[in-house]
Chains A and B, each alone.
Chain A
Amino acid sequence: MTTTPAAIRPETAPGATFRTGRMALHAALILGSVAMLLPFAWMLATSLKSPPQIFTYPPSLVPDPVVWRNYLDTVQAMPFGRFYLNSLFVAVSVTTLQILTSSLAAFAFARLRFRGREVLFLVYLATLMIPFHVTMIPNFILIRFLRWFDTFYALIVPTAFSVFAVFLLRQYFRGIPVELDEAARMDGASSFRIWGQVIMPLSGPVLAALTIFVFLGSWNDFLWPLVVSNSNATRTIPVGLATFRGQYNTDWHLLMAGSVIALLPVLLVYVFAQKRFVEGITLSGMGGR
């Protein structure tokens, strides 16, 4: 791109109207920001209130007194620590396996010549259109048949493969100059070494983006874990929170404390690695374009 982005070109008329326009824009954006943050503030405020404070009118965003005990009550009522561990274990496994299986396949599609390559790739691509919900019921039946219901296998194995990740990585791998792996091949490197020592190290940005995308998707996934887990031993954070809601229907102080507990780690990481998150979701969301 040789052209100057519109955003950074110097404005030609920095007059009074310009400054007023800017102020109005800031005012509108700040108002929007307040609207975006209000649900978070409301969640946090409620999580620190006592039940009588919750059911008073008008509602306040400032808890008085601050009831920290709600958090203790929440983790005693529901094993959120266990849910964290489950979520972490599932998300790390899914991300690792998905990137491993997908990058190997993407390497074959991008770099190796074999019979049926184009046809197989088309078959892969064709299934990208099919929503997960179509395969959900047979997968559930398969999981029961394998006696994997309510185990980590059910949560991890079916999502350890991704047609989308194969597609994304293949597009990226094809952008890497072929001369690099041909040179390595001349030096006697095996395909496996070329994958591990040439292609993968050169794919840092797309791998980082994909990692964030897959990890976040797995961490926040709801429908599949809801279908295949049935005890606190396997429930992930979203399913655990939904179960908690089922049992403490009107204890809003506890439910909001649970929500804070569920959101806090992701939001913290997000605040400190905002750029990576946005890049990861944008790049993956755009299918690598």
Chain B
Amino acid sequence: MTAQTAPAPQHIAVSRWRRYRPDQQWEAYLFLLPSFIGFLVFVAIPVVASLALSFYDWNLLSPPEFVGFENYSQLLTNDRVFRKVLFNTFYFIVTIVPLQLAFGLLLAVALNQGLRGLEIYRLIYFMPVVTTIVAAALVFQWFFNRDFGILAAAIWEFGATTGLPIQPPDWLNDPDWAKPAVVILTLWKNSGFTMVIYLAALQGVPAELYDAAKVDGASGWQRFRFVTFPMVSPTTFFLMVIQMIGAFQLFSEAFVMTQGGPAQATLTIVYYIYQMAFEFQRMGRGAAVAWVLFIFIFIFTLVQTRLQRRWVHYETGGES
């Protein structure tokens, strides 16, 4: 990327410039215009407006009232629900991200053994990725039903046949179990995505490395630990960042399956933005929550980018 933007030697630059007709400047603006108008109206201006809005109290009916930092200070010091919301969001991040990566890598390594039926396995594991989340969440709500759901039935039967005192939890009505239910839905929905990305990365690992490791007497686990894992670490880093951002933005799963409950156990940051703005008509407070979300995502991404130098292995060095 830097290669082409770096200043070219003077004589080349001049000849290049001369080759273009003088009207190219305006032509370029014409090409940009449709995209730029959209960018300005629906992205750039709203970003500024959103920041400004977060310092106001506005219910869309009465005129907006400037309140300074109150929206933020209320959120951070006085709002017990928001504290819960943050806790829930971090819970989802620390469970979903590692599990998602582990599942994806495990599946990808399994599928990369040259097994027959790769296409069929991939078809099945990737299928949830293309499904509409609303339908998926609806199905899982029924799936998790304690009295008539098939998952609960399987657990009952397992307990009965083994004689173990195992009972299915009341997944969606128990604050302690509603979060794991959301995690399970998310893993089911997204593992196929991480799998496919890992699969592409694994196919780029040179076979010679494995052969050399074998010659050195490395076991299967050692080959995974010292060849596969470092070779796919750039992919791991990439997936970690985007899965983390995705987990920060969890909404539909909780909105449809648990409605944020029970007892706000599955209320997430984005859900809280939605509630503030579109249920309580508190536009300013909603905008403030959105900015807190952005700041969190920004800091977390920055920290991960810093930390990656310690564990991510780039074959060609420097490229990121």
Contacts and interface: CB of A to CB of B under 8 A. Distances in A.
B36 interface: yes
Interface in A230-275: 237-239, 241-242, 245, 252, 255-256, 258-259, 262-263, 266-267, 270-271, 274
Contacts of A36: 124-125, 127-128, 188, 192
A228 B75 CA distance: 26
Contact of B252 (A109, A182, A223): A223
A20 B200 CA distance: 26
Interface residues of B, number: 105
A140 B153 CA distance: 44
A148 to B, nearest CB: 12
B150 A59 contact: yes
Contacts, number: 295
Contacts of B143: 38-39, 42
Contacts of B127: 36-37, 40, 267, 270
Given A33-B124, A33-B125, A137 B277 contact: yes
A174 interface: yes
B210 A131 contact: no
A196 to B, nearest CB: 12
Nearest to A174: B4
A107 B135 CA distance: 38
A239 B134 CA distance: 8
Contacts of B60: 141, 144
A3 B130 contact: no
Contacts of B202: 6-7
B133 A222 contact: yes
Contacts of A144: 60
A194 to B, nearest CB: 11
Given A25-B110, A42-B142, A104-B35, A263 B135 contact: yes
Interface of A: 1, 3-9, 11, 22, 25-26, 28-29, 32-33, 35-40, 42-43, 46, 54-59, 61, 100-102, 104-105, 107-109, 112-115, 117-118, 120, 123-124, 127, 129-131, 133-142, 144, 157-158, 160-161, 163, 166, 174, 182, 191, 195, 216, 219-220, 222-223, 227, 237-239, 241-242, 245, 252, 255-256, 258-259, 262-263, 266-267, 270-271, 274, 277-278, 281-282, 285-286
Given A3-B206, A100-B34, 5 more contacts: A108-B28, A117-B28, A174-B4, A220-B130, A255-B138
21 contacts: A5-B204, A6-B202, A25-B113, A42-B143, A43-B142, A104-B35, A112-B31, A113-B28, A129-B298, A130-B294, A133-B290, A134-B294, A135-B43, A138-B287, A163-B39, A222-B134, A222-B251, A238-B132, A238-B135, A259-B139, A286-B197
